[in-house]
Each structure stands twice: as C-alpha cells, then as structure tokens.
Amino acid sequence: MRILLTGATGFAGRTVAGVLHDRGHEVTILVRDPVAGLPFRQLVGTMESVSSLRSGLSGTQAVVHLAALNPPRFSAAARDGAAMTAINATATATLARMAADAGAGRFVFASSVRVYGAGSDRAFVETDPFRPGDPYARSKAEAEDALHGLREEGMAGLAILRLPVIHGPGRGGWLGLAARLGRRGWLLPRDLANAPRSVLNRDNLADAIAACLYGGATGTFNIADEGTTSLGAIGRLACQWAGRRRPVTLPGLPGWMMDRLPLVGETLHHARRPCVVDTRAFAATTGWRPPVTLDDGLHASFCGQATVAGPR
C-alpha cells in the first residue's frame, strides 16, 4: 500500500514509519526539510502550508495523519488555541479532503483521549460526549467534527484513533518526570500519583495502525495497552530499577488547591484525575491485541532510559 505518513519524525512517528515500511508498504513521509539516510520517499512541506501538498498526494492509497501541534503544557504556546485549531483541525480537514480528491481510500487520524476531558471512575467509551478542557483537546475535538462532516459528504475509509499518552524510551512529560524522580528515590505527591490511567506503547500504536490499514476498519476507536498504570506505579518501577529501596514521597498541595492555582490549575487537575479508556470496540472490529504487554513496555520505556523534561 502507498501510504503518506505525517508526523514521521516525531516521538511515535519514527516507530510507525519503520513498522509500516518493514511490513512491505511504500511509505512517503512529510518532512519540513529533507533528511538523509532514511529508507522512505520524502515529501517536503508543512501542515501550516498544507494546500501545497496536493501534487504530492497523487497515487497515495492511504494517509496516516499523526502530526499535531502539542506544546508543553506549562508553556505560553499551550494557551494559543487559535494556532492549535489552525494546525490540528483546519489543516487536518484540508489534508483529508485533498487525500479523498486524490483517490486515497483510507485516512487514519490520530486524535486524543483528551477530547473526553478530565477522567471519572469509569472507563471512557467512544460514545461519550466531548468535554475538552484545554486548547489542544478542543482542537482535536474540532478536527474530529470536521472529519465527520467530510464522511457525511461521502468520504469513505475514515478511521479516528483516540490515543492516550504514548510511551517508549525517551518519553518525557508527566510519565518521564515520574520515572526521572523515581530513579533518584523520589515519588510524586500522592494527589498527583495515584490516579489510574491508560497508556500506549509506541510499538503497539504502530501495530494498531497497521491492523487498521490491513483490516479496513472505519469509525472511531480508543486504543491503549492492556491494563492501567499510574504516575506512582511508574515512579516505583524506576525506583526499583535504580535500587532505591526507600523512596520518599514528595510533599504536595491538596488536590483542590492544585486545581485553583493560577495558570497551571487546569493542567494539574487533568494530571491527577483518572484517564482510562475502553478499547473493546477496536478489538471487536479488528481482532487486534497489543503485542507488547504493559509491564514489558513500561520496563523498556522507563528503566534505564534518559527522558526529556516537561509535562505534556
């Protein structure tokens, strides 16, 4: 299958590109600038100027759209809703329409479980309403709405995958922070650490996308590893790996006080709430099960690996 992959140079995209290539697909990757030494055809362009990509879509049979603007949570850019809507929603809809016009029969879009908003005591299912709590989540919800509109106009072959936090070696964000502290013998405050959450190993993401393309699945699906973890569990795992037998739990504010902190309260509220998704719909449609277990994936991601800073 001839596939255009966006976001191929990102944290998860590199793995997705490699898996699709290794399984015999002809992969073209979207890049800002040419990259030497890659076994893929390269289409030079950006989502900011998505309309200029039209000629590069000729002959494409499927588009896998991973690229997104997702700034670090505590940065000023994370509050720029207009910028995220332009890239994550408007440009996504433009790309999907151009792909359909070019004859691509499949469009796989990486959305986010953040469209559901802050978690509750039950797992999210695909029919739950949108309650996005930040500009990034709103832009993903807007993208989904736009794609559904295109489907109603006759665009076939659309699959929307709602993804939790992706993990793998080098993962930053909250998961990376928990592991980095754990290797030093510290655990995040309990009000941040204990909430259960779904996560997704990037090898499992790549396998799920391949299954989606192979099986022709259409619709909206939650994708995650089997089982749940927490920031506290990741911290304790890193403690054990580093031989820290008596980890110290860092002091922290009560949850209700975190929620009211200026600028960062919304981010902290989201981080300390459960975020678990029900993945049975995708399994029933495709027969897919994650090839990498949760425990094996977490060990590979956070035991002995350097991580970058910054909650996401």
First to last CA, the chain: 33
Q: How many CB atoms sit inside 10 A of residue 287's CB? A: 10
Residue 34, SS3? Answer: coil
Domain boundaries, the chain: 2-169+198-228+276-292
Question: Hey, which residues does 26 pair with through a beta bridge?
Answer: 2
**Taking Cα atoms as reference points, which of 174, 156, 155, 154 lies closest to residue 164?**
174
Q: Pinpoint the alpha helices (H) of 185-290.
A: 190-193, 202-215, 231-242, 255-259, 265-272, 280-286
Q: Which CATH superfamily is domain 2-169+198-228+276-292 in?
A: NAD(P)-binding Rossmann-like Domain (3.40.50.720)
- pLDDT tens digit at each of 312 positions of the chain: 999 999 999 999 999 999 999 999 999 999 999 999 899 999 999 999 999 999 999 999 999 999 999 988 778 888 899 999 999 999 999 999 999 999 999 999 999 999 999 888 899 999 999 999 899 999 999 999 999 999 988 888 999 999 999 999 999 899 999 999 999 999 999 999 999 999 999 999 999 999 999 988 999 999 999 999 999 999 999 999 999 989 999 998 888 888 888 878 888 888 889 999 999 999 999 999 999 999 999 999 999 654 444 444
Q: Give the torsion sign (CA, 140, 261, 190, 242).
A: positive
Radius of gyration of the chain (CA): 19
Helix (H, G, I), strand (E, B) or coil at 12: coil
Contact 22/67 with Cβ under 8 angstroms? no
- For residue 277, the model assigns a pLDDT of 98
Helix (H, G, I), strand (E, B) or coil at 283: helix
Phi, psi of 162 (to 5 degrees): -90, 115
- Who contacts 24 (Cβ-Cβ below 8 Å, separation ≥6)? none
Q: Find how far residue 19's CA is from the centre of its chain.
A: 17
Q: How many residues does the chain have?
A: 312
- Distance (Å, rounded) from C-alpha 266 to C-alpha 281? 30
CA atoms within 13 A of residue 14's CA, in its CB half-sphere: 9
**Spatial separation of the C-alpha atoms in residues 103 and 115, rounded to whole Å:** 29
Phi and psi at 285, nearest 5°, equal -80, -40
